[in-house]
Amino acid sequence: MDAVRVSALRERLAGTGWLEAAGGFAGSLRHAVDRRGSAGLLLVGTEAYEPWHLAAHLADEAAWSNAPGLAPILLRHRVPAMAPAHLTHDLRRLAAAGRGSTVLVVAPAAAGEQLLQRVQDARHGGATVLALDGTAGPAELAALAHERLAVGTAEEEPFDLAQHLVSAAAGRSPARRPALARLADLAGRLTAGPTVGRW
């Protein structure tokens, strides 16, 4: 995303409540992974959508802001035989998610029964569940989430933008800057600096 497009998007979003909503959701994510006894962040998408983009941005933010809890473990519905070790975690990992774990579900469309059941098991085990979903996301996912950010559409560009906003805001320490100020430098953050490149 180039700086001109990001700047234009920031202008369009000003006054819509979107920056505040994304900042509030990101604050909940940061609080969950920073709290005492945190057991890490599990990031999972749907069978049709793996949130690679968000995984990469959260890993970058974890490195840039010295917030290791933001670095996610990406859970996959299907793991290829030759996948590198850090990309071999499947949905069974949700069974071990208990108190202290944070599960972030990214679902532009329906989550599917298998995923919903695993997320429900994680929640019953004590995990904090956050959901970022589109309008096609089922009511069941919203009911399972402790906090939800509904994007309002499953279209690629707005859904991608929501992930940018959340990851950028989550990378800023809430003790240092309020949510709107954390989002104010989004354009620069998206276009400057080296990436971790792990994904």
Please indicate whether residue 31 or residue 185 has the higher confidence score (pLDDT): 31
- In this prediction the pTM is 0.80
CA–CA distances in Å: residue 21 to residues 55, 77, 93: 20, 29, 29
Q: Which among 69, 57, 44 is positioned nearest to 168, based on CA atoms?
A: 57
The one-character DSSP state at 49 is B
How much is the average pLDDT of 51-67? Answer: 91
Q: Kindly report, residue by residue over 16-41, the tens digit of the pLDDT.
A: 677 788 889 999 999 999 988 888 89
User: To which residue do tokens 């490195």 refer?
Assistant: 63
Residues 6+ apart with CB under 8 A from 36: none
Please indicate whether residue 99 or residue 178 has the higher confidence score (pLDDT): 99
Q: Which among 160, 162, 60, 73 is positioned nearest to 122, based on CA atoms?
A: 73
Q: Kindly report, residue by residue over 72-130, the tens digit of the pLDDT.
A: 999 999 888 888 888 888 899 998 898 999 999 999 888 889 999 999 999 999 999 99
Q: Kindly report, residue by residue over 122-176, the tens digit of the pLDDT.
A: 999 999 999 998 865 557 888 999 999 988 766 677 788 888 888 888 887 555 4
